[in-house]
Amino acid sequence: MIPVILVADIYFYWMFSPVGPVFQDDYSTLVFDTNGRLLRAFLTTDEQYRFPYKNIQLPDKYITALITFEDKRFYKHPGFDPLALMNAFFTNLISGERKRGGSTITMQVCRLANPKPRTYFNKLIECFVALKYSVHFSKQHILRLYAAHVPMGGNIVGIQAASYHYFGKPVEEITWAEAALFAVLPNSPSLLNIGREREKLILKRNLLLKKLYQNGCFDKISLDISCNEPLPEMKKSLPFEAPHFSYFAANHQTAGKRILTTLDYYIQKQVKNAAFAEHRYLKSLGVTNLSVLVVETETGKIRAYIGSQNFNDFDNGGQVDGILAPRSTGSLLKPFLAAKALDRGPYTIRSLIKDVPTYYGTFSPQNATKTFNGLVSLEDMLIKSLNVPAVRLLNEYGVKDFYDFLVQAGFQNLFRSPDGYGLSLILGGAEADLRELTMLYASLGNMGVIRELQFTEQNKSDPGSGNNNRLFSRGSAWLVLNSLRQLARPGSEYYWSYFNNQVPVAWKTGTSYGQKDGWAIGVNKQWTIGVWVGNFTGEGNASIGGAKSAAPLLFTLFNTLTRRNEKMWFDKPVDDLVRVDCCAESGFPAGPNCPQKNKQERPRDSWKPGICPFHRKFIVDKKTGHSVCSLCWKNADITNVNLFIVPPLVKEIMQLSGKKVDEIPPHTENCPNEMAENRLEIVYPVNGIKILVPRDLDGGYEKIVLSARHQHPSSQLFWFIDGKFLGETINIHQYTIDILPGKHKLTIQDDEGYIKSVVFSVFKSES
């Protein structure tokens, strides 16, 4: 008696103890677009396509077909069906062979979870386990377990994977014929896979359809239509859309999850087609790769993601994700230096910056045209993408401060220190990928606020949520956007502003050193789009350039995607801009010597003070035109004149281009006062430079060319090295010398006695 009670106790303890996981947690990661369209399914660790089943609603058609075919008393029995088992036992006994199994759906779940040879003893064990499952699980949960783990041919497991694999659609959209097929297929899952005995499979399906018709599930017309539906093609496969993006999304989420992303399949398709068409032309020029990223400006949601021209282009590295590859930024960072300079002050967008031959140690930046303008506005620096003014502006702003700004903006590929990059930081010395750069340009459209790019719809109720971080003011963002809007567009887009309802875009291009990377990134109210073209091998090509190879695709996409019936441009942040009196010539806040003024806008909180550095007041003798001072104006008829005085080198460049430039009035002769301070400039060498003198072809050392500029080129300059007189120059102020290694002091004096000096060091190459 006691053993019976003990066995009963053990049985009931086992029966009501927690079940635990029925199947191993090993499911495919599924990537969906924003509308729920499957983009990509990834294999499980055992190389099956097995979709996650939790929270999935099975279609009523499939449930009805499955229960009718497999287990008609499913909702009545406790997990095993005694009548079906008895019927199967006697049928098999009489026939002498196994013709029927008698397993319920619940028992089949047990067998799928723990496969064992089909014996009567194992069948008995399945009955006990099925009973336990029925105690702990609802009927709906058992159906979901079965539907998710039943084999469907090959490495396709479950009806979700089967529906996408065979019919290319979610299981919720299956027809009665497809539901019947999925009900009968697990009995012969190899039929579809190897393509044999398809007529038998159709017969089996149609018999089930007739039974469903007899049960009143649908009418005669539906029966005829369903029975005539063909079987799916054998070469069907699971969706393989946006492969680079799918990998990116899957790598940033837990495996075995359903990932609802921000990507829009239809936008992705449009962008892919445009990129494919553009690549055909680029490939003919030897440019083999391109990448495109399309982001909603306001929300930061990624809507299209083209990692390469073709994922299956194995000859040209098509599987490389160019969006995540760090590359030289070219000129793409200049707008953000301008924004930061505007926020600091005293600049306005019209302020003038020197564009002259410039030397910082051994670093001498050059404009792409190899020419100089003398002075250019901050706006022209952006529109013409001038390198020299940008470097000079960065030198004034501070490399460390701008480097810290890039780190704040989320740049993760900077592997050197600020000093390691130096002033080349603004000319492409920095490394960034297309994702980082597109996110940075989107911050212009969000009036200075940078947001993490969104690739999932987890925060669907909170558009644009994420790490919001203000990088610069709304006022500076607006000023930079309107400057970038003025860039001349390529090709037929050149005359865009002459037509109504055209798409406004603030955009910028960049080309890396050696023409290895061509960038074009643009932003308007709706979209921020980034395009990169080049070769994944790193090879340069004369056809690679931001304006000529990347910009055409950029504007094709803006014209295709922008909705012209919605807002396309940004509201002016009038509360974050102030109008200040500025010098009409220099664009800086007006000083007391500026003769003409106008109103310019600048950010409200711009804090660094400053006035026009060019206008100077001189007291001159009306008769001679010479400047005078308190020591020499006795008996002179004097007047005040305000002149726009620029450094000598600036003056020379501007005069060569035909511009009239004011000159410092010569001081009255024999005046004991110190001479004017800004008349002489030493161009090379600059103070503190270290010069390495190489050997020339015959093995001798090359000479150093010293250079200076004077307000009056006809002035006579006297040259001294370490106190020793070298010679004199008139008009062209250059002096060529052969000099020993070591530290030296260059002194230059003009014919009126004004002196300037610099100190430099010389090293000579051994080889």
pLDDT tens, residue by residue, 63-120: 999 999 988 888 888 877 676 566 655 555 566 555 556 688 888 888 888 888 777 6
Nearest to 407 by CA among 392, 418, 419: 418
**CATH number, domain 2-26+37-227:** 1.10.3810.10
3-state DSSP assignment of residue 328: strand
pLDDT value for 492? 63
Residue 280 exposed, middle or buried by CB count within 10 Å (0-12, 13-18, 19+): exposed
Report, as an integer, the average pLDDT of 5-22: 68
CB count in 10 Å sphere of residue 534: 29
The answer, yes or no, to whether residue 188 has pLDDT greater than 70, is no
Q: Are 614 and 646 in contact (CB under 8 A)?
A: yes
C-alpha closest to that of 61 among 53, 69, 50, 73: 69
Candidates 193, 201, 160, 197; CA nearest to 177 is 201
Nearest to 569 by CA among 657, 662, 444, 451: 444
User: For residue 346, is the peptide bond before it cis, meaning its omega torsion is within 30 degrees of 0?
Assistant: yes
Among 307, 304, 306, 309, which Cα is nearest to 284's?
Answer: 309
d(CA 256, CA 602): 52
Mark 402-428 as b/e (b = at least 16 C-beta within 10 Å). Answer: bbebbeebbbeebeeebeebbbbbbbb
- Cα-flanking dihedrals φ and ψ of residue 64, to 5°? -65, -45
Residue 195: closest CA among 142, 154, 256, 225: 154
pLDDT computed for residue 462 by the predictor:
42
The answer to whether 424 and 281 are in contact (CB under 8 A) is no
Give 73 or 598, the one with higher predicted confidence: 598
Nearest to 108 by CA among 180, 22, 194: 22
386 closest CA partner among 363, 361, 365, 401: 365
The 10s digit of each residue's pLDDT in 398-441 is 999 999 999 999 999 999 999 999 999 999 999 999 999 999 99
pLDDT tens track for 731-751 = 889 888 888 999 999 999 887
Question: For all residues of the chain together, what is the average pLDDT?
Answer: 88
> What confidence score (pLDDT) does residue 464 get?
45
What are the extents of the domains in the chain? 2-26+37-227, 579-603, 614-678, 680-764
Predicted pLDDT at 498: 56
pLDDT of residue 389: 97
Mean pLDDT of 464-490: 87
Residue owning tokens 């969104």: 454
What CA–CA distance (Å, rounded) separates 724 from 747?
A: 9
List alpha helices for 185-305, DSSP H. 190-194, 198-214, 220-227, 243-251, 265-284
Selection from 657, 667, 670, 689 nearest residue 760 by Cα: 689
pLDDT digits (tens, 9 = 90+) for 372-384: 999 999 999 999 9
> Which residue(s) pair with 377 in the sheet?
352
Pair 762, 740: CB distance under 8 Å = yes
Three-state secondary structure call for residue 151: strand
- How many residues make up the chain in this entry? 767
Return the pLDDT at 460.
46
CA gap 686, 291 in Å, rounded: 43
* CATH superfamily, with its number, for domain 680-764: Immunoglobulins (2.60.40.10)
pLDDT digits 0-9 by tens, 261-306: 999 999 999 999 999 999 999 999 999 999 999 999 999 999 999 9
pTM for the model stands at: 0.86
